[in-house]
Each structure stands twice: as C-alpha cells, then as structure tokens.
Amino acid sequence: MSEPIVLVKKHVPLGTIQLNRPEKRNALSRVMIEELEQAFRDLHGEKSVRAIVLTGAGSAFCSGLDLAEMHAAAGEEDSFDRWRDDVVRLRDLYDLMLRFPKPIIAAVNGPAVAGGAGLVLASDFVIASPTATFGFPEPRRGVISGLCAPLLTFRVGGSQAARLLLLAETISAQRAESIGIFQEILPDEKLWARAMEIAKEVALSAAEAIQLTKRMLNETIGETLETFLAAGAAASATSRTTEAAAEGMKAFLEKREPEWPT
C-alpha cells in the first residue's frame, strides 16, 4: 500500500501534520486539501495536543495548487464551476486554520509558494530552514494570487504585499524573516525540535486563553479577512478563465516560457 498523502501523528503536546507528496513537491491536489481539512478536525478534539506543526515531506514545503489538475479542468464543460469549487475549498482550508483553536506552527523546510505560501500565512508561528523560499509566482503563470493577497497584507502590510504580488517575487528565507513572514531560521534538522519547544511553551497557558487570543487576533483585529478571502476566491477563479491563464499553465507544464496574448 502507498503512504497517505497527509500524515498525522501525535507527540504530546504537539500534533504533526505532514504533506506527503514529495514527488510532486507537495502540490495541493483536491484530495490533499480534503485530507488536510480532516487532519485538522481530527486533532481539534485531541485535548492533549496543544499545538500543531505543519510541514512537508522531501525538499519542499508546498508548491501550491496542483497545476496539472487546473489544466485538466480547462477542458471540462463546467470548467469555471470546477475552478470556483477548487478555490472555495482552498479558502475554506485557510479559514479553518485561522479559526483553529490551537496555535499552528508552519515548519517551512523548502519552497513555500503560491497556495503553499498561503498555508504559511494562515499559520500562527513560522519557523524555516535556510533553504526555504517564499513567493507568489502566479502572474507568471497567467493567474493571480487572490486568496493569499489579503493574508499577506494582514501579516506584513500593503507595501510589502504589493512588491511580492506585483513582481511575482520568490524571496529567500533571510528576506522573508526580515519582513516578518518567517519568525525564526534554523537548521532543517532542528525544525521539529523547535516546534516541540513552542508547543511546550503554549501548554503552559490555559487552553481557553489561547483559543480566545487566536480569536481576538484573527477574527477581531483581522475582522475583514473573511470578506477579503471571499472576494479573493472570486477573483482567483475568474483569472483562470483568461487566455493568459491557459497559456501560462500550458507553458508551465511544457517547461517553456509563456507567449502572452497581446
């Protein structure tokens, strides 16, 4: 039997969720998103688990949505409905993470781009290895990062968000730390141990107090996030219907430079 594409383990007080498609750089397929949602729900009720670490297998954290699935949807009669459903499901995953009552620690062990960068932004703590990278290459594939834009602006402000999104930049771990996306940079082999230290520190506080603090941060201070995520989902789905999107995804899969329509 093949291994599950999402691995869940308990190392009290830490729960571990690992994306496990290393051969696809942990790209988010529809099935993986469903299994991630289920993993969080499973750990939600585990009272002995006080914090969650989210990480990736292999050399990447997460390369974003599975572009092969996106490209295949282009040939379906109801392609827009399929794209909309895909984006809404990803939005729901981010929302679940923001509302999750326990702190989520992203242990970024490699590239975290596009939808994978969104997983980082929906987490509460971010620790990363020196080889980790972060960015939003979607415009170079003919689409936009509508879902991640409000999360990025919430975390680092409008100026930094504009630079990353409009230049389609992928930045180093050191640069991500300097603008506040990554909080700590550690050798790869020390990421899990640091996540356990954070979980133990969280466990010193009352679970209810931690839950209320997350709610204050993400639902009170970040009260507009839900509205902006809904608008971003609609914009992302629409961007996938353009000629540029079709060419960008095809060029990516064919490993060539896109020829943008004029």
**Known catalytic residue: 259?**
no
Q: How far apart are CA 182 and CA 110, in angstroms?
A: 12
Q: Is the pLDDT of residue 77 over 80?
A: no
Quote the pTM value.
0.93
User: Which amino acid would we find at residue 194?
Assistant: R
Residues contacting 187, CB < 8 A, separation 6+: 129, 130
pLDDT, averaged across the chain: 92
Q: Is the pLDDT of residue 1 over 60?
A: no
77 by Cβ neighbours in 10 Å (0-12 / 13-18 / 19+) ranks as exposed
Q: How far apart are CA 26 and CA 3, in angstroms?
A: 13
Edge-to-edge strands, sheet with 14-19: 6-11, 14-19, 51-56, 104-108, 125-128, 184-185
Catalytic residue among 34, 37, 76, 138: 138
* 113-157 pLDDT per residue, tens: 999 999 999 999 999 999 999 999 999 989 889 999 999 999 999
**188 has which bridge partners?**
none
Q: How far apart are CA 190 and CA 133, in angstroms?
A: 17
CB 36 within 8 A of CB 8: no
Peptide bond into 111 cis (omega under 30): no
pLDDT of residue 73: 64
* 49-72 pLDDT per residue, tens: 999 999 999 999 999 998 778 767
